[in-house]
Structure 1
Amino acid sequence: MASVDVLSTGHGPGLVVLPGGTRRARHYQRMADALSGTYTVHVIERRGRGRSPAQGDDYGLDVEISDALEVLEETGSRQLFGHSYGGLVALHVALRTDLDRVIAYEPGVSVNGAIPWDWQPRFEQLLAEGKDARAMVQFLHGLDLMPSGPHVNAIAWVMQRATAEGRAVREVLPTIVRETGVMRELDSDGSRYAAITAPTLLLGGGRSPAYFHEILNVLVETIPNAKRVITPEFDHNAPDLDGPTAVAELIRA
Structure 2
Amino acid sequence: MVIPGNNRRAHHYEALARELSGTYGVHVIERRGRGLSGPQGPAYSVETEVDDALAVMDHTGARLVFGHSYGGLVALHLGLRRRVSALMAYEPGVSIDGSFPARWLPSFNRLLAEGRHAAAMATFLKATRLAPIGDAPAPVFHALAFLLLRGAEGRDARAMMATTPAEIGEIIRLDSDGTRYANVDSPALLLGGDRSPGYLTGVLARLAHVMPDARHEIVAGLDHNAPDLNAPGVIAEQIRTFVESRVPGEQSH
**Residues 104-253 of structure 1 correspond to what in structure 2 (within 5 A)?**
104-146=89-131, 147=134, 148-253=136-241
**Residues 63-82 of structure 1 correspond to what in structure 2 (within 5 A)?**
63-82=48-67
TM-fit CA distance, 1:200: 0.2
Give me the whole-angstrom Cα distance separating, in 2, the residues matched to 1:160 and 1:167: 9
TM-fit CA distance, 1:155: 2.5
Give me the whole-angstrom Cα distance separating, in 1, the residues matched to 2:224 and 2:83: 27
Q: Deviations over 1:23-80 (max 9, x none)?
A: 0000000000000001100000000000110111111112111001111111111111
Point out the structure with the larger strand share. 1
TM-fit CA distance, 1:144: 1.4
Ranges in structure 1 where 5+ consecutive residues have no aligned partner = 1-15
State the identity %: 49
State the SS of the aligned residue for 2:48: helix
Give me the whole-angstrom Cα distance separating, in 2, the residues matched to 1:109 and 1:75: 27
Give me the whole-angstrom Cα distance separating, in 1, the residues matched to 2:47 and 2:142: 38
Give me the whole-angstrom Cα distance separating, in 2, the residues matched to 1:157 and 1:30: 24
Aligned counterpart, 2:23 = 38
Aligned counterpart, 1:8 = none
Give me the whole-angstrom Cα distance separating, in 1, the residues matched to 2:3 and 2:73: 9
Indicate if the aligned counterparts of 2:181 and 2:207 stay in contact, CA closer than 8 A: yes
- Root mean square deviation, CA, Å: 1.1
Larger RCO (alpha carbons 8 Å, 6+ apart): 2
Q: TM-score scaled by structure 2?
A: 0.91
Moved more, 143-152 or 85-94: 143-152
Ranges in structure 2 where 5+ consecutive residues have no aligned partner = 242-253
Q: Deviations over 1:186-227 (max 9, x none)?
A: 000100111111100001000000111221121111111111
Give me the whole-angstrom Cα distance separating, in 1, the residues matched to 2:87 and 2:120: 33
Amino acid at match of 1:101: A
Give me the whole-angstrom Cα distance separating, in 2, the residues matched to 1:51 and 1:105: 25
Q: Deviations over 1:155-211 (max 9, x none)?
A: 313312321123321210010111111111100010011111110000100000011
Indicate if the aligned counterparts of 1:133 and 1:161 stay in contact, CA closer than 8 A: yes
Give me the whole-angstrom Cα distance separating, in 1, the residues matched to 2:149 and 2:37: 25
Say if 1:56 and 1:133 are closer, same or farther in 2 by CA, change over 3 A: same
Indicate if the aligned counterparts of 2:122 and 2:142 stay in contact, CA closer than 8 A: no
Give me the whole-angstrom Cα distance separating, in 1, the residues matched to 2:14 and 2:141: 29
Give me the whole-angstrom Cα distance separating, in 1, the residues matched to 2:14 and 2:221: 21
Extract structure 1 runs of 4+ deviating beyond 6 A. Answer: none
Aligned counterpart, 1:56 = 41
Indicate if the aligned counterparts of 1:105 and 1:203 stay in contact, CA closer than 8 A: yes
Q: TM-score scaled by structure 1?
A: 0.91
State the SS of the aligned residue for 2:53: helix
Give me the whole-angstrom Cα distance separating, in 2, the residues matched to 1:242 and 1:60: 29
State the number of aligned residues: 238
